[in-house]
Amino acid sequence: MTDEDSHPEREAFDHDPIDHVGISAGMSVAELAAEYGNAGIGAADVAEAIDVTSEAFGREETTVFLGLAGAMVPAGMRAIVADLIRAGHVDALVTTGANLTHDSIEAIGGKHHHGSHDHPDYDERAFDERLRDEGVDRIYNVYLPQEHFTLFEEHLRAEVFDSIGEDVVSIAEFTAELGRANAEVNDRENVGEDPGIAAAAYEHDVPIHAPAIQDSVLGLQAWLHSQVSGFSLDALADMSPLNDLAYEADSTAAMVVGGGVPKNYVLQTMLVTPGAYDYAVQLTMDPPQTGGLSGATLDEARSWGKLKKDARNVSVYADATITLPLVIAGALDAIE
């Protein structure tokens, strides 16, 4: 008897050898993605994410829900999201009040700047104390001058709150007004920067949901305004339109960047519909072993009925500022 004869039948084995990634000058993103697919570990996951995303984007009947958490706008991912909305690849956006705050700051003329997470002459605490004295807010290695928040607060008072008046509105209605104001001021003031995510969503009738909007400067300003007026936000009013969108869709896809509230809000839409997601892609750095939602695998979401049993899904565990541009560029390259 040979060693081969003593082995059990390889039921789960499919002879698909690892190839070695080949790189050449001038290769397209689609060609690079194909090379990732020849490799293993994280590279294989990225390739699978590109393939799933391209299939979801390429099907007109698929309704795409994008969850956007983290500091993605300050980090420079703003144009990717705005362009996806304009191209018709996003049907609903769930994000944070913080991303909308930073998006608006850029729309009306503010800028984020390259910075540093440390300083050669100071320890971390002393470095951040100096930044505070200089009026600079730090997001890891991104700087934002504090005067831009003053500009943003003035923008809200003059362009958004005055338009809404004394009404109680849904958060999606509020973010739509924000998008309208961002677009108008951007055009009127001839701002060099793109009007951004909220403006693109407003112009293309894509709802923006920010269920934890209170956890942001945008939310703080909304609360302050509610203290001196009849204005208020109805946090439950958005749930019917979003759940209806999922209920009526022929096919659905979840694109989840980061975790937290945006991730759960996207996935939980399927708990009150007869269906579940056909496609799901998650870009995160949080590990699943802690039991937290942010790192939970999409396979775990399947156990809740949020994904179909045969759904195509993949989780990529890496910095989303690295993976999001690669996945989206590869997907767009593949469908063109």
Query: Which residue numbers are catalytic?
Result: 306
Question: 108: which DSSP letter?
Answer: T
Helix, strand, coil percentages (3-state) for the chain, rounded to 5, are 50, 15, 35
Structure tokens at 99: 């991303």
The position carrying tokens 């209605």 is 173
DSSP 17: P
DSSP label at residue 119:
B
Report the candidate in 328, 253, 330 with the shortest Cα–Cα distance to residue 298: 253
The Cβ of residue 125 has, within 10 Å, a number of other Cβ atoms equal to: 8
Closest CA to 308 of 249, 224, 220: 249
Residue type present at position 224: L
Characterize the bridge pairing of strands 208-209 and 136-139: unpaired
Q: Are 235 and 215 in contact (CB under 8 A)?
A: no
CB-based contact 222:233 (threshold 8 Å): yes
Report d(CA 276, CA 308) in Å as an integer.
5
278 within 8 A of 301, measured Cβ to Cβ = no
Sign, Cα dihedral of 65, 264, 173, 193: negative
Q: Using only C-alpha atoms, what is the Rg of the chain?
A: 22
Instruction: Report the distance separating Cα 183 and Cα 203, nearest Å.
Output: 9
Q: Residues 240, 244, 246, 247: what is their CA dihedral angle, to the nearest 10 degrees?
A: 130
Give the Cα separation of 83 and 154 in Å (integer). Answer: 27
Identity of residue 126: A
